[in-house]
Amino acid sequence: MRAIEEGRYLVRSANTGISGIVDPYGRVVEKSDIFQQSVLVGEARFLRTSTFYARHGDILAYASLVATGALLAFSRGSRTM
């Protein structure tokens, strides 16, 4: 998910667990087996573009919370009349 959020390749090297390469679309390009010593060879490019989330973070989530709160307050106020 982090690769998709940032629109970047993700290369993970783990001492215990799965190592691998994930492309910006979330597809696993290369991976090792769990708890297996291995050498992975793959392609991971440096990208200069950025996603909406990388530029603005959680602003969309916060805006949704504010809008939901406003709609709830409005619906409670109109029900009492």
Supply the pTM of this predicted model: 0.67
One-letter amino acid for residue 60 of the chain: L
pLDDT of residue 78: 67
pLDDT in tens, 26-53: 999 999 998 888 899 999 988 888 888 8
Mean pLDDT, rounded, of the chain: 88
Domain locations along the chain: 1-49, 56-81
What are the φ/ψ torsions at residue 16 (nearest 5 degrees)?
Answer: -130, 120
pLDDT band at residue 80, thresholds of 50, 70 and 90? low
For the segment 61-65, the average pLDDT, to the nearest whole number, is 94
pLDDT of residue 79: 65
Spatial distance between the Cα atoms of 81 and 79, rounded to a whole number of angstroms: 6
For residue 38 the two structure tokens come to 């291995």
